[in-house]
Structure 1
Amino acid sequence: MVNVASNPKTTLGRPLWQLAALSLLAAPRVALHDLSLIPNSAVAAALVFAPAAIWIAATLRSPARSPLLTLLVIGIFYGVILALGHNLFWDEVFTTVTPGLGGNLEGTLSPGTEEVVLRGAMSVSSLFTGAGTGLVCGLVAVLIQFLRGRAARR
């Protein structure tokens, strides 16, 4: 078991503040997407893939013992950014249509309580999305590391 608390810099390859700073590279996409300021284009693709590529490159260039763990931590920070951004831009996103609970829960809660439930669900979903993104990036980094090691042995 990896003990991050003992010395996160040696375990994760960088101090936690640097991992948090790396996750901020994805923040512009959150805001621009929520405000519908970027069309579906090469710019949108760059805003999605460039931060992840930088995270992977920075992690592979660090002395991280486990790139998977390091990128998972970056992903969790990214999930927090997603949750904060989506909550911050909630009213702008839903200017014409207000989200609501459906099915058996439709109309059973006050509008304020319903919004708290929906924002909470969105926040949890954002955290899972960030962690999942970090996990996928971590798996890519592990694959790159494996292929590098294999090539070096030849």
Structure 2
Amino acid sequence: MSAGRRTLGFSWPALVALAALAAPRVVLHDLHVVEEGRPAALLLAVVPLICWVAAVLWRRPSRPFLTVVVIGAIHGVLLAVGHQLLWDEAFGAAGPRLGDIDPRAQEAVFRVAAVFSSLVTGVLTGVVAGALAAVLSRLVIGRQRAAGSERAGGRPPDAAVPRG
């Protein structure tokens, strides 16, 4: 078992696949297929995060918060790559401008800023969804322990049964 799977509860390909659930939003947004403020944009933004939290609740990794932050960080990388690949489609010839600076320098500045922004967005998204996953994990585990305690006649589930 890899260190990633032990710590995060998923293999690296599974973590990348979970992060990739949010990739369609990047493509559809940059191609102007889905515009901000529309229900489709909201669904494309929220459903992948729900999937991340659900996957963590299902697999129960030992560190659910860290797991979702890593998924978010991978999402940030995918977000940065997507924006860079679709830059011309997103902005066309009328891209953002910085006054009288050489257009190539401007584009470089904006592209670097977009990469940084994408990475920060991915990590912060992972932090928010990870906090939710951690809280829900504790609630689910607490309920399971309480249910197990009731079935065991009030004893904690891991209490030793006296032999006599």
- TM-score range (shorter-chain normalised) is 0.7 to 0.9
**Aligned twin of 2:115:** 123
| RMSD, matched Cα | 1.7
Which of 8, 25, 28 is the equivalent residue of 2:4?
8
SS at match of 2:22: helix
**Aligned twin of 2:51:** 54
SS at match of 2:62: coil
Which of 21, 27, 40 is the equivalent residue of 1:43?
40
Matched, 1:114 2:111: no
Greater relative contact order (Cα < 8 A, sep 6+): 1
**What is the percent sequence identity of the aligned residues?**
41
Rounded Cα–Cα distance in structure 2 between residues aligned with 1:146 and 1:111 = 52
SS at match of 1:61: helix
Classify 1:60/1:21 alpha carbon distance in 2 versus 1 (closer, same or farther; 3 Å). Answer: same
**Aligned twin of 2:130:** 138
Q: Is the 8 A contact 1:10 1:63 kept in 2?
A: no
**Aligned twin of 1:86:** 83
**Aligned twin of 2:140:** 148
Deviation at 1:96, TM superposition (A): 5.2
- Report Cα offsets for 1:75-96 as digits up to 9, x if no partner: 0110011111111111112125
Structure number with larger C-alpha Rg: 2
TM-score, normalised to structure 2's length?
Answer: 0.81
Matched, 1:65 2:62: yes
Deviation at 1:63, TM superposition (A): 3.9
- Report Cα offsets for 1:80-116 as digits up to 9, x if no partner: 1111111111111212522122xxxx42x42212211
Q: Is the 8 A contact 2:7 2:62 kept in 1?
A: yes
- Which consecutive unaligned segments of at least 5 residues does structure 2 have? 148-164
Matched, 1:29 2:21: no
Rounded Cα–Cα distance in structure 2 between residues aligned with 1:44 and 1:73 = 23
Q: Is the 8 A contact 1:11 1:65 kept in 2?
A: yes
Rounded Cα–Cα distance in structure 1 between residues aligned with 2:62 and 2:115 = 30
Task: State how many pairs are aligned.
Answer: 144
